[in-house]
Amino acid sequence: MTSTTTRPAAPRSAAADWRAGVRAAVPFVIGLAPFGVTVGAAVAASADPLAAWAGSFLLYGGSAQLAVLQVLGTGGAVWTAVLVGVLVQARLMVYSGGLAPLWSGARPWATVLGAATIVEPTWAMAEHRLRTGGPAGARVHYAGAAATLTVGWTAAITVGALVGRVPGLAGHLAVAVPLCLVVMLAPHLRLPGGIAAVIAAAGTAVVARAVVPGFELLPAMAAAAVAGLLTERRRA
């Protein structure tokens, strides 16, 4: 009679976790590439394309960067653009709070880099990795995913900024900017209060543009938030 002993599974190496993060990020890079090219077209159309391109690293979010460029492009004040960017990115505080345990015990510079790269795709990949693989190696996995997403996103914006400078193509890419915003907006119509929020935002934007040109985005966002909240409370 023979006895068999089961050897414990060998721990995953840091390199393997890094490669797994890279593989997880590739589909997101492919899916976000058209939007990145569109943001790059807005960068090319801005008053200072180099500064707008460098802002990709500061904002690290296509929706916020596009909103800021739209405000500045319509003649809005700088403080208005900054406030709009902060409001759009405020949702990331919820994501960063959910991933706080991931960075427990990490060095300060690693925590700062991790917080700076938290967006919906990196949060989703980190959450999935924690659920399926546990905390071991999750931080390295996140680093590989975030690095891949950053490189791919920056490359897409750069391509859009270069192509957007071509006169024949710039007009076509400019049309894609509002189309991308519509695609981003469409899923919210199914949420409670979504339709009311969109109607309120559109009406407020039209009125604000006629009264104070370049200042329509901020009151439109506020009107959408109020309308959505009131509609949801009425249904509750």
**178: which DSSP letter?**
H
- Distance CA(116)–CA(1), nearest Å, equals 59
Q: What is the DSSP string of 34-91?
A: HHHHHHHHHHHTSS-HHHHHHHHHHH--HHHHHHHHHHHHTT--HHHHHHHHHHHHTT
- Locate the domains of the chain by residue range: 14-177, 191-236
Query: Could you tell me which of 212, 84, 74, 230 has the C-alpha nearest to residue 204?
Result: 212
pLDDT tens track of the chain, all 236 residues?
A: 444 554 544 456 888 889 999 999 998 888 788 888 888 888 888 888 888 898 888 888 877 888 888 888 877 778 888 888 888 777 788 788 888 888 888 888 888 888 888 888 888 888 888 888 777 888 999 999 999 999 999 999 999 888 877 666 655 655 555 555 555 565 556 666 677 777 877 787 777 766 655 555 556 766 776 777 677 677 76
Predicted model pTM: 0.67
Q: Is 71 in contact with 84 (CB distance < 8 Å)? A: yes
